[in-house]
Amino acid sequence: MKVVVTGMGVVCSVAGSVPEFAVALREGRCGIEPVEGDGDGGPRLAATVKDFSFPDAVAALTGLPETLRQEAVRAAHRSPEALQMDLVSAMQAYGDAGLHDTAPAADRMGIVVAGHNLSSGYVQQMFPKYQDHPEYVPASFALQYMDTDRVGRISQVLGIKGEGYTVGGASASGNVGIVNGSRLVEAGAVDLCLVVGATTDLSPMEKRGFATLGAVAGAGTDDPEHVRCRPFDVRHEGFVPGQGSACVVLESEESARARGAEILAELAGYDLKLSATSLPEPDEDGEATVMTGAMEMAGVKPAQIGYVNAHATATPLGDEIEVRALTRVFGDDIGTPWVNATKGLIGHCMCAAGVVEAVASVIQLRDGFVHPNLNLRRPIDDGCRFVRGAAQPADIEYALSNSFGFGGFNTSIVLRRPPHASVRHG
Amino acid sequence: MTMNEDDIFTTVKTNVLAVLPDLDPDQVTMHGTLTDLGANSVDRADVVTMTMEDLGLVIPISEFQEVHDIASLVALLKRHS
C-alpha cells in the first residue's frame, strides 16, 4: 500500500506557515539569534518563534471553518505555548489536506505526536509556585505537564477518534513518528494519520546539561555574536536549540484519491534501527544501515536520490560520522545528491526536527530547489555535494531525510515527488 | 481579616472569565453554577485554585465537596477569609 502526504503545517523561527517556510528556505533565512541570560553556562544562541500569538495564529487559518477556530481557542487558550504551536501546525496540515471539507470517519483518523519530555520548561516555570504554595498548583497542571496532552487536545479540536499516542526517539523522534504513523496506515488501522513533530520546551536545566555534554554551540562564556551554527563546516561546534512544530498528514493513496485530495509526496520508504547503546555518540554502521534500508524499501538506488536532508546538527563528531555514512552508502554516486542541513537555518527543533525537515524536504521536491547551507565556508568533506552559497535549482524525484538521536536511534525516510507532478518554479 | 462577599464574588467572576473568556460577564451571577456556565471539571478546579491564590487562602480540597453553586463557593471562601 502506498502512503502519501496530503497535508503539511509548520511553525518555526523563520515561518508561521508552509508558504512562508517555502520562501524562507529559498532565501536561506536564518532564525538563530543570541539570547538574553543563560549566564549559567547554557546555550547563548537560539532559534525561537518570535511574537507568537495563539489567537492571531488561529485567526489566520481562514481556510478553516469559524466554528473549528473557535473550538481551538476555547480548548487551548490557557495551554502552554508549546502545545498551542503544535495545535496550529496540526490545524494547518488538517486544512491543507482538505479534511474540513471531506474526511474519513472520525475513528479512521489517527494521531501520532512525535516527542517526549516535551514540557520541562513549563514544569520548571511552575516549580517556584509549588515551593511557595503547593496548594496553588492548578489542577490543569496535572494534565498539561503530560506529553499526551498534545494528543488529547489536538484530537479534541480536530475530532480524531482513531488510534493515537506519543512516540519518542530523542532527536530522531520526528522520523520515529513518521514511521509509526505510516505503519498505522499500512496496517489498515486508520485511513490517515496526523504526525505532529512536537514543540520541545526545554528547561534551562536541560539546556545546561546539553552544554555540559559539549553538544551546543555558543555555550558558557563564548561571545554569541561570534558563534554560528555551522553544519558541515570545519568550524562547527555544536547545535543551536530551535523552537518549532510541524505536522504531516500521512494517508493511504486509496483514501487520498477517494477524497480527491492533492498528493504532495509519497512516503516511499523508511528504516529505523537501534545501535544498542545508551550513549550520545553517532554510529556510522547504524546510520548507513537505515539509509540503505529506507532506499531498499522505496525500491531506489543511491544514484536516484537527488537530495539528502541531513541530520547535521553541527556537532563535529555527528557531522563527520554522517558524512562517512553517506560516503559509504552512496559510494561512487556520493557527488550526485545535493546535501543540506535545515538546522543551520532554524536550529535543532529537537523532537520536532524530523517532521520539520520532512516538510522542508517536500517543499524542496515540489518547488524544485535546494536551500543553502548557512555558514558553510570550508566543508569538512570534498566528496559530498553540499549546497554552497544561495539556493540552487534542483529537479529532485527522491529525497532522503535523516534523523539520529542520543541513545542509538538511527532513522531515515525516503520521500518521492508524485510521478505526475511537475516542478513548481516559484 | 474577613473579606467582603462582593469582593470575593468579584474575584471568582474574574477567574471564571479568565477560564471561559467567551462568556458574557453578566452571565456570571451568584445564583449560577460553573457547570451551567460551561466549565468542565478541570476548569472548575482551576477557578477554585486561582481564586484561593488571589485571596491568599488555603482551604482543604475536601471542603469544596459542599460547593454546588457560585453562592456556596463564595460562602466557603468567606468563611475561611
pLDDT at A426: 47
Radius of gyration, alpha carbons of chain B: 11
pLDDT at A38: 62
Tens digits of residue pLDDT in A126-156: 999 999 999 999 999 999 999 999 999 999 9
Helix (H/G/I), strand (E/B), else coil: A160: coil
> Cell 516555570 sits at which residue?
A125
CB atoms inside a 10 Å sphere around CB A38:
20
The H-assigned helical ranges of A187-252 are 204-212
**C-alpha cell belonging to residue A374:** 548557512
CB atoms inside a 10 Å sphere around CB A89:
33
**End-to-end C-alpha distance for chain A, whole angstroms:** 32
**What's the rounded mean pLDDT across residues B5-16?**
97
Tens digits of residue pLDDT in B40-68: 999 999 999 999 999 999 999 899 999 99
Pairing of strands A385-386, A392-393: unpaired
**C-alpha cell belonging to residue A264:** 504532495
Instruction: Kindly list the residues from chain A whose CB atom is less than 8 angstroms away from the CB atom of residue B58.
Output: 133, 135
Distances (CA, A) of A267 to A404, B8, B26: 18, 58, 53
> What CATH architecture is B5-80?
Orthogonal Bundle (1.10)
Residue A420 has pLDDT above 80, yes or no: no
Contact between B42 and A139 using a beta-carbon 8 Å cutoff: yes
Element (H, E) at A40: none
- B42 contacts B7 by C-beta, under 8 angstroms: no
Residue A39 has pLDDT above 70, yes or no: no
> Cell 466549565 sits at which residue?
B39
CATH 3.40.50.1980 fits A269-416, yes or no: no
**What's the rounded mean pLDDT across residues A52-72?**
98
pLDDT at A40: 74
Residues of chain A with CATH 3.40.47.10: 3-265, 269-416
Element (H, E) at B55: helix B41-55
Sign of the torsion formed by the C-alpha atoms of A407, A402, A318 and A33: negative
Average pLDDT value for chain B: 95
Residue A46, beta-bridge partner list: A33
Fold of A3-265: Peroxisomal Thiolase; Chain A, domain 1 (3.40.47)
With CA atoms as reference, report the closest residue to A261 among A273, A269, A253, A272.
A253
Residue A226 has pLDDT above 80, yes or no: no
pLDDT at A424: 61
pLDDT at A423: 63
- A64 contacts A95 by C-beta, under 8 angstroms: yes
Which of B22, B50, B58 shows the shortest C-beta gap to A74? B22
The conformation of residue A106, written as its DSSP 8-state character, comes to G
Tens digits of residue pLDDT in A322-379: 999 999 999 999 999 999 999 999 999 999 999 999 999 999 999 999 999 999 999 9
Residue A224 has pLDDT above 80, yes or no: no
* Residue of B15, B42, B59, B63 best to disrupt the A interface, most CBs of A under 10 A: B42
Cα–Cα distance measured from residue A57 to residue A84, given in angstroms and rounded to the nearest whole number: 9
Cα–Cα distance measured from residue A336 to residue A332, given in angstroms and rounded to the nearest whole number: 9
Pairing of strands A409-416, A398-405: antiparallel
Tens digits of residue pLDDT in A121-132: 999 999 999 999
Instruction: Kindly list the residues from chain A whose CB atom is less than 8 angstroms away from the CB atom of residue B23.
Output: none
Residue A105 has pLDDT above 90, yes or no: yes
Tens digits of residue pLDDT in A380-401: 999 999 999 999 999 999 999 9
The alpha carbon of residue B52 and the mean position of all alpha carbons in its chain are separated, in whole angstroms, by 9
Instruction: Kindly list the residues from chain A whose CB atom is less than 8 angstroms away from the CB atom of residue B46.
Output: 78, 138-140
Residues of B numbered 23-62 whose beta carbons fall under 8 angstroms of chain A's beta carbons: which are they? 42, 45-46, 49-50, 52-53, 58
Instruction: Kindly list the residues from chain B whose CB atom is less than 8 angstroms away from the CB atom of residue A74.
Output: 22
